[in-house]
Chain A
Amino acid sequence: MPNRSQIQARAAMMRVRFEAAGAQVVDPPLLQPAETLLDLYGEDIRARAYVTSDALRGEQMLRPDFTLPVVQMHMREGAEPARYTYSGEVFRRQEHDPDRANEYVQVGYEVFDRDDPAGADAEVFSLFALQLRGLPLRAATGDIGILIAAVEGLRTTDRRKAALMRHLWRPRRFRTLLDRFAGRRPAPEQRDALLDTAEPLATDAPMIGKRRKAEIEARIDALREDRAAPPISDNELVGLETLLNVRETMPFALEQLRDVAVDLPQITPALDRLEARVAALQARGVDVGRLDFEASYGRTSMEYYDGFVFGFYAEGRPDLPPVATGGRYDALTRRLGNGAEIPAIGGVIRPDLMLEIEEATQ
């Protein structure tokens, strides 16, 4: 196993390479205010991050990643365009697998650039591929933006679309909702009974709690409206299912997705962006003909990615977490930007895993 100084040395070396690519070194604090993280990820983050507190500043978290503080810093004071690099420890609670590290080093690279998103996607991916060159790794790519476009363009109610968008990153729940909205799965029994009652709010129970009567009424109205709305069409449902199952090398994936766009024309702009990315990757010497693309890739990881996503995995070592991951997070800059926004993409590499794989292959 690599020791700490070997890992730090490797991290420093990679950071220097990112600097040579034009990045400015940043060093966010280890302790991050818990509020922003909780607001963004909700209760789930408590299962993943260490929380501590003092009477003065309240709850703080040991940084579970760098992206969030780097985005906050950029939105506060960054010039445009900007490239940042960093290296240091991140901390992740591990309650199920004692073999997974709860503290490890990440080296990262983030690009904030308005002009050429496809170029920035290709820049980050090819820089990562270069840093990882020679290791027996498999790259996986995807694009959350295509799925988002597909959902946003469905011919159904805004409420249904919002519900699907909310659960884009929870595939099982997404599936349940989709089946229900398409009329393939009945609504819960009790719900029908409630909506059939003339006065659903007639109850002996006293009104208690902060959720007021008007909110309950509003939800019943929404449920009634939803029951009256026509189901999502078979065409669109089949289109979505086909889309989610696309798993091919990049050029073939694009071809299959163009076929899907016959039923789901709303994904065409996202596919144009994918095509531009393929060209930009090619221009940087990436062998796209052998690069895997999965339309569902990235759906179970952190919620902030909303475009191009990628990861590098050790061949024949399914026990290891990915050696590198990254993606586009335009919407995150909007949420943390107080009205400002900028297209952004970045990723992280784990030097400890690189060294472990190198040792094993020697």
Chain B
Amino acid sequence: MSLKLGVPSKGRLMDKTFAWFDKRGITLSRSGSDREYAGKVEGIDGVSLILLSAGEIPRELAAGRIHLGVTGIDLVHEKLPRWEQQVEEISQLGFGKADLIIAAPACWVDVDTLDDLDAAAAAFRKTHGHRLRIATKYHRLVREFLTDAGVADYTLVDSQGATEGTVMNETAEAIADITSTGETLRANHLKILSDGLILQSQATLWRSRVAKCDAEDKDVLTALLDRLT
């Protein structure tokens, strides 16, 4: 057995995760070619590196197939109901910062708050015969947020990418998505509702509460967490 650490398999998120561990004396690297999703760990024994899509890391943690994993708060909260019981937050890593927000067309001068969105949704449904559509991939988080705020007459439509474009394409009237600088939102003539912040996210190291650990794994985990936190 060895302690399994799940890390995003590509892009800036992977590079910054590698750098974060490196600063703490643990070198993570991809073995072999760039296309091969196998990795190695230097600087500590008994840890193996698993490269995964960031979106799959919450599920793997909850299933106990990895002991530790790096992924965004947004993904853990969206994909794991009652996430506190399945994973423990070890450390926020200080990068991959992004907010999950609700945005509407900037030309909607009458819509500034969720209160306005609700009123606009009621009128929209009456005029167009269908509910106001909000494009997102964060269905659970957005639904809970809007229910709590008392917004009605909307429907969520699934959008797994290029969500900011859905309004212009008229496949949605508003969006709920992750943004860091707001650049893409502005470029697509969207504005964030003033009380439309659902969640502040960043890359975070999580520990699975359900992954099985033998005595050796436990020692390695303690040693590793000592170095990391």
Partner-B contacts on A (CB < 8 A): 38, 42-44, 46-47, 95-96, 98, 163, 166-167, 170, 172-173, 176, 188, 190-191, 194, 200-201, 203, 205-211, 213, 215-216, 218-220, 223
Task: Answer whether A170 and B107 are a contact pair too, CB < 8 Å, given A47-B143, A95-B140.
Answer: no
C-alpha gap A220/B120 in the complex (Å): 11
Contact A43 B155 (CB under 8 A): yes
Contact B110 A42 (CB under 8 A): no
Task: Answer whether A203 and B106 are a contact pair too, CB < 8 Å, given A95-B81, A210-B173.
Answer: yes
Provide a sorted-by-A list of 20 A–B residue pairs whose CB atoms are within 8 angstroms: A38-B155, A42-B154, A43-B147, A43-B154, A95-B140, A96-B82, A166-B122, A166-B152, A190-B113, A191-B116, A194-B109, A194-B112, A205-B189, A206-B107, A207-B107, A209-B107, A209-B167, A215-B124, A219-B110, A220-B109
> Taking the complex as formed, is B170 at the interface, i.e. its CB lies under 8 A from any CB of chain A?
yes
> Taking the complex as formed, is B223 at the interface, i.e. its CB lies under 8 A from any CB of chain A?
no
Name the residue of chain B whose CB is nearest to the CB of A193: B112
> Taking the complex as formed, is B123 at the interface, i.e. its CB lies under 8 A from any CB of chain A?
yes
Distance between A161 CB and nearest chain B CB, rounded to angstroms? 13
Distance between A72 CB and nearest chain B CB, rounded to angstroms? 20
Task: Answer whether A208 and B167 are a contact pair too, CB < 8 Å, given A47-B147, A203-B107, A215-B124.
Answer: yes
Contact A191 B112 (CB under 8 A): yes
> Taking the complex as formed, is B146 at the interface, i.e. its CB lies under 8 A from any CB of chain A?
yes
Determine the chain A residues whose CB is within 8 A of the CB of B107 once the complex forms.
203, 205-209, 213, 216
C-alpha gap A217/B58 in the complex (Å): 45
Task: Answer whether A211 and B156 are a contact pair too, CB < 8 Å, given A95-B81, A203-B109, A206-B107.
Answer: no
Contact A173 B110 (CB under 8 A): no
> Taking the complex as formed, is B184 at the interface, i.e. its CB lies under 8 A from any CB of chain A?
no
Contact A211 B122 (CB under 8 A): no
Determine the chain B residues whose CB is within 8 A of the CB of A218 once the complex forms.
123
Distance between B207 CB and nearest chain A CB, rounded to angstroms? 21
Name the residue of chain A whose CB is nearest to the CB of B156: A43
Q: Which of A43, A176, A215, A223 has the most CB of B within 10 A?
A: A43
Distance between B174 CB and nearest chain A CB, rounded to angstroms? 8
* Those 7 A-B pairs whose CB atoms lie nearest each other, nearest first: A173-B150, A205-B106, A95-B81, A205-B107, A190-B112, A219-B110, A210-B170
C-alpha gap A205/B111 in the complex (Å): 14
Q: Which of B119-153 contact A (CB under 8 A)?
A: 119-120, 122-124, 127-128, 131-132, 139-140, 143-144, 146-147, 149-150, 152-153
Distance between A39 CB and nearest chain B CB, rounded to angstroms? 8
> Taking the complex as formed, is B168 at the interface, i.e. its CB lies under 8 A from any CB of chain A?
yes
Determine the chain B residues whose CB is within 8 A of the CB of A210 once the complex forms.
128, 170, 173
Contact B122 A223 (CB under 8 A): no
C-alpha gap A206/B109 in the complex (Å): 11
Contact A211 B108 (CB under 8 A): yes
C-alpha gap A335/B109 in the complex (Å): 34
Determine the chain B residues whose CB is within 8 A of the CB of A163 once the complex forms.
119, 122
Task: Answer whether A215 and B168 are a contact pair too, CB < 8 Å, given A188-B115, A223-B110.
Answer: no
Determine the chain B residues whose CB is within 8 A of the CB of A190 once the complex forms.
112-113, 194
Task: Answer whether A42 and B120 are a contact pair too, CB < 8 Å, given A96-B82, A205-B107.
Answer: no
Distance between A157 CB and nearest chain B CB, rounded to angstroms? 14
Residue of B109, B118, B150, B153 near A172 (CB, 8 A) is: B150
> Taking the complex as formed, is B105 at the interface, i.e. its CB lies under 8 A from any CB of chain A?
yes
Residue of B106, B131, B139, B150 near A176 (CB, 8 A) is: B150
